[in-house]
């Protein structure tokens, strides 16, 4: 099995949490490390969204806040109320840093996919992988994506994706599509951010 191939599913008790996230990340890290080099993991890859079960890939008809909220409501309508998610996370990433020491996009992806904190389970997560967007100021202004992927330029603008500090995370209120908060992998304190967003969503429901 190659380093980027999904391994056998872990037992239910080990499926989520920090250890599961670390194990999942290691599958894509490759078997070579060159300490001190810029690309110190030359065989590493980012985590494809197709390999994730808890991150819903965005498409040309599923990316705007309104579309995501409509999809969220449809999905939640089939779930018992006690098990329904409370918020939406939008993940935008390029994975260009996959071979570097930080692996910021990869780490953010596995933290969400494997619920490194239980609070992640309160959110329905949507994601998209973009081509690197150097010089894209303001976000979405450059036609970097073409053809069937051209909608990704608009998505980069809508969610203010910035190339450089790793993945961008945008938190939406599923009730009205408003953007509650935005952060990036470099600044992310996932536990605190999730707590703050949940409190804001609960305030709108009172």
Q: What is the pLDDT of residues 64-83, one digit of tens each?
A: 999 999 999 999 999 999 99
User: Quick one: average pLDDT of 47-70?
Assistant: 97
In this structure, are residues 113 and 49 in contact, taking their beta carbons and an 8 Å threshold?
Answer: no
In this structure, are residues 104 and 111 in contact, taking their beta carbons and an 8 Å threshold?
Answer: no
What integer pLDDT is reported at residue 179 of this predicted model? 96
Burial class from Cβ neighbours inside 10 Å (0-12, 13-18, 19+) for residue 42 reads: exposed
- Under DSSP, is residue 169 helix (H, G, I), strand (E, B) or coil? strand
Q: Is pLDDT above 60 for 7?
A: no
Grade residue 102 by pLDDT with cuts at 50, 70 and 90: confident
Grade residue 106 by pLDDT with cuts at 50, 70 and 90: very high
Question: From the DSSP assignment, how many helices (H) and strands (E) are in the chain?
Answer: 5, 5
**pTM (2 d.p.):** 0.87
User: Quick one: average pLDDT of 123-142?
Assistant: 97
Secondary structure letter of residue 88 according to DSSP: E
Rounded CA-CA distance 33/205 in Å is 49
CB within 8 A of 129, min separation 6: which ones? Answer: 46, 48, 49, 93, 94, 95
User: Quick one: average pLDDT of 105-129?
Assistant: 94
Q: Is pLDDT above 60 for 9?
A: no
CB within 8 A of 89, min separation 6: which ones? Answer: 112, 123, 124, 125, 126, 169, 170, 171, 172
Q: 18-26 and 104-113 are packed helices; what angle lies between their axes, rounded to 10 degrees?
A: 130
Domain boundaries, the chain: 15-193
Nearest to 90 by CA among 4, 173, 202, 175: 173
Mean pLDDT of the chain: 89
What integer pLDDT is reported at residue 205 of this predicted model? 63
Please state, for a pLDDT cut of 70, what percent of the chain lies above it. Answer: 93
What integer pLDDT is reported at residue 162 of this predicted model? 92
């Amino acid at each position: 099995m190659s380093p980027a191939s999904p391994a056998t599913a872990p037992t239910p008790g080990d499926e989520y949490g920090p250890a599961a996230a670390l194990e999942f990340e290691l599958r894509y890290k490759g078997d070579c490390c060159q300490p001190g080099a810029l690309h110190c993991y030359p065989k590493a890859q980012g985590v494809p969204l197709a390999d994730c079960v808890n991150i819903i890939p965005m498409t040309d008809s599923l990316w705007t806040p309104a579309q995501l909220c409509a999809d969220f409501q449809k999905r939640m309508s089939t779930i018992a109320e006690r098990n329904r998610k409370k918020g939406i996370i939008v993940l935008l990433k390029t994975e260009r840093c996959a071979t570097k020491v930080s692996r910021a996009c990869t780490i953010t992806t596995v933290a969400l996919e494997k619920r490194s904190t239980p609070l992640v389970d309160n959110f329905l997560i949507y994601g998209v992988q973009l081509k690197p967007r150097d010089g894209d100021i303001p976000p979405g202004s450059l036609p970097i994506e073409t053809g069937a992927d051209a909608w990704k330029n608009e998505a980069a603008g809508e969610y203010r994706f910035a190339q450089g500090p790793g993945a961008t995370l945008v938190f939406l209120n599923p009730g009205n599509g408003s953007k509650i908060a935005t952060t990036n992998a470099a600044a992310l304190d996932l536990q605190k951010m999730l707590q703050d967003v949940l409190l804001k969503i609960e305030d709108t429901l009172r």
